[in-house]
Structure 1
């Protein structure tokens, strides 16, 4: 039990780091050397007065933050066409711009309509075009949808600019702190507080449909797992068993949670909990500490961290036959917090790299490991729903901040807080089309 207490104490200190709710400012820290030059021309406004929203500014920021594109500075634009037949392609070739997006914004009903077109500058070919509508309060969402369309057209990968993230936020200093569970757009905008508590909140996990969050709360002075529906605010306590209730993870069908419990024998193990029936099934049986479960994309396996080999490593177990786990991680003496990629081919982990805790990915076929991040205390990796990027928590000048890195390691950015700290980010699934 002494080893269990020590490990869990370290685990708790990691999660209980003080955080504060503040606006997130994004700084690109690493861009691909071969970022594609693209022009996002300011949209025309087909009405009187000033345009109510700068769609092109948001689209350009989205594409720049992806690290894969380098939008042309507006100050360098010698022309501002708003539709395809106004583009003088030879002028844009002079700026060595590969692609150009033009468009216009117009009033429609109680909101607005945005019409845009994407062209290949070299050939003059129209690659995409669409007309989208939105209310006055949803113009950022409309802009992100345009970014998604452009990104997918040019990369073949579905854009994730319209997705959301959740993270833990704490105001104040010990012993008086106020914990918050926050949901925001992927870029930190439109923050919404889902729940608050004077006691720690931790381990948020999105349901597969993106409609609910599971999380751990200590509001009753002991750990319990709750499931909260975002639209209604309704929440339900699903596990408040004696001892540890931690690390919830949704099954792909949304019917079951994998979680960490310490039962009467004192062992810390992974279980599955059917939400409707409350039936518990034990998944690990070793006297070591087994925790941090993550489901395979088909729901047939669970990946988890265990110290059964003397240090934290990743194992997998067949849900239908859980008594024969196999080891997955082999490089290094510390690999923890496994998270499965959307395509089921990779695991993101926290890996000890030359004395630094960094984000790495393990190829499940070859078992090869690649270190992606460059911090000293990186933790809590979570894949974007398109599998192209990971968001994680790190430290900057002693403060907790969020960061992202592409899964090929070529691009990275940091979400700097104006005040306080944030922790435990988790990327939501794609919104339902």
Structure 2
């Protein structure tokens, strides 16, 4: 048996941290390969205020493989901040000047119309317009010429546009997530849309794959592979499937995390015999040791501004979360409630730190407000792990066990809005929310 608790000795014991090690055969890496939809979405605990909206079927959508209006509706409903209103009769597109009175009568505050046109080169021109039904105002629209494989992306971008126009906050529907599944002896690293659909395999191996971490530009994933019968860190090009070695030093190489500018990574290495935190150049070279203790220091992540690093250490007798300067030194403890706090994840806006805390034997997702130091439990499940913030800092994705199934969940920072993305098969773990598309 292969004991992955070497990498994080405080990881929740319910989790699949004792995994069988298959025979050492070459792993398989390739450009993203699409798979059938693996998730279904269930939304619960909606917020106090919802925007009533409607979206009509896009004219010409029959020629496309994706239902644009249905995807936009699902995106907005999944956020928990929008409530769908059934459309009024009639055919509309982005060129229409609709009579908005029937929509007001139905209680809709906004309306999305659009069309899908097949171009001579095989691409599709997806167009839309957003209307403020209450004020009778045209809120603008855009055109997205895309290939057949990018129709979902076009729909997600429409959702982002609507979300930002109506809430004032940037949408994350067109972003991606990464996660790892284990089915039998096969471990697979997946990249999917933020709604869990359109999943594509980035890497498959008979050996464990853990700790995926997106580069800030969204082009690469750092991860830990055990194909060499020891933990080794690689960087994986998402588009091409090519990879390069980042860390294969003596002992264990684990928990990689990129700096905000993408030029460096922090990782946990056992060069000195015990797990310590090191800084590495993204292009290679000798690592710089940042912690100098006889304790276990692990799970480092940069703060949003890159000036400090959050990490887990048992230097005080139990695993707790600390913060130190990016160059090492000046470590200060952040968590004080309970004797088991791990898996820090910093929000991109610099306001929050998500982490996992053991409470009466249950592993629950918490959020720490960095300015006040106040920590709050935001989940009701008991086997949470691996939190990761959305790039707009409003949502968190994490792995858990819910209703007897392994699942990925998303939650708002206050815990009021939750979406369950339940896997069709295999264990699901290690979710990581990617950055905004550039």
TM-score, normalised by the number of residues in structure 2: 0.90
Q: Which residue of 2 aligns with 1:184?
A: 192
**Aligned residues of 1:297 and 1:342 also touching (Cα < 8 A):** yes
Does residue 158 of structure 1 match 2:170? yes
1:179-236 per-position Cα deviation (integer Å, ceiling 9, x unaligned): 1111111112222211111111100011111111111111111111111112222212
Q: Which residue of 1 aligns with 2:144?
A: 132
2:406 to 381, 393, 400: 400
Q: Which residue of 1 aligns with 2:306?
A: 299
Report the secondary structure of 1:323's partner residue. Answer: coil
Report the secondary structure of 2:77's partner residue. Answer: helix
**Aligned residues of 2:175 and 2:193 also touching (Cα < 8 A):** yes
RMSD of aligned alpha carbons:
2.4
Q: For structure 1, list consecutive stretches of 5 or more residues without a partner in the other structure.
A: none
Measured in 1, the distance between the counterparts of 2:189 and 2:230 equals: 18
Measured in 1, the distance between the counterparts of 2:36 and 2:322 equals: 35
Does residue 335 of structure 1 match 2:350? no
Does residue 286 of structure 1 match 2:293? yes
Question: Map of 1:244-283 to 2, 5 A cutoff?
Answer: 244-264=252-272, 266-283=273-290
Report the secondary structure of 2:139's partner residue. Answer: strand
Measured in 1, the distance between the counterparts of 2:7 and 2:437 equals: 37
Measured in 2, the distance between the counterparts of 1:395 and 1:5 equals: 19
**Aligned residues of 1:294 and 1:338 also touching (Cα < 8 A):** yes
Measured in 1, the distance between the counterparts of 2:153 and 2:70 equals: 13
Q: 1:69 Cα shift?
A: 0.3
Q: 1:271 Cα shift?
A: 1.0
2:51 to 36, 61, 79: 36
Q: Which residue of 1 aligns with 2:366?
A: 360
Measured in 1, the distance between the counterparts of 2:79 and 2:395 equals: 9
**Aligned residues of 1:22 and 1:419 also touching (Cα < 8 A):** no
Question: Map of 1:373-412 to 2, 5 A cutoff?
Answer: 373-412=379-418
Measured in 2, the distance between the counterparts of 1:374 and 1:120 equals: 37
1:380-430 per-position Cα deviation (integer Å, ceiling 9, x unaligned): 000111111100000024432100001132211101112222101001111
**Aligned residues of 2:364 and 2:384 also touching (Cα < 8 A):** yes
Measured in 2, the distance between the counterparts of 1:63 and 1:10 equals: 37
Measured in 1, the distance between the counterparts of 2:397 and 2:228 equals: 30
1:101 to 109, 112, 120: 112
Does residue 112 of structure 1 match 2:124? yes
Q: 1:12 Cα shift?
A: 8.7
Q: 1:279 Cα shift?
A: 2.1
Report the secondary structure of 1:390's partner residue. Answer: strand
1:204 to 204, 212, 231: 212
Q: 1:156 Cα shift?
A: 1.1
Measured in 2, the distance between the counterparts of 1:275 and 1:286 equals: 25
Q: Which 10-residue stretch deviates more, 139-148 or 83-92? A: 83-92
Q: Which residue of 1 aligns with 2:237?
A: 229
Report the secondary structure of 1:143's partner residue. Answer: helix
Q: Which residue of 2 aligns with 1:69?
A: 82
Q: 1:37 Cα shift?
A: 0.7
Measured in 2, the distance between the counterparts of 1:135 and 1:431 equals: 17
Q: Which 10-residue stretch deviates more, 31-40 or 5-14? A: 5-14
Q: 1:364 Cα shift?
A: 1.2
TM-score, normalised by the number of residues in structure 1: 0.91
Q: 1:295 Cα shift?
A: 0.3
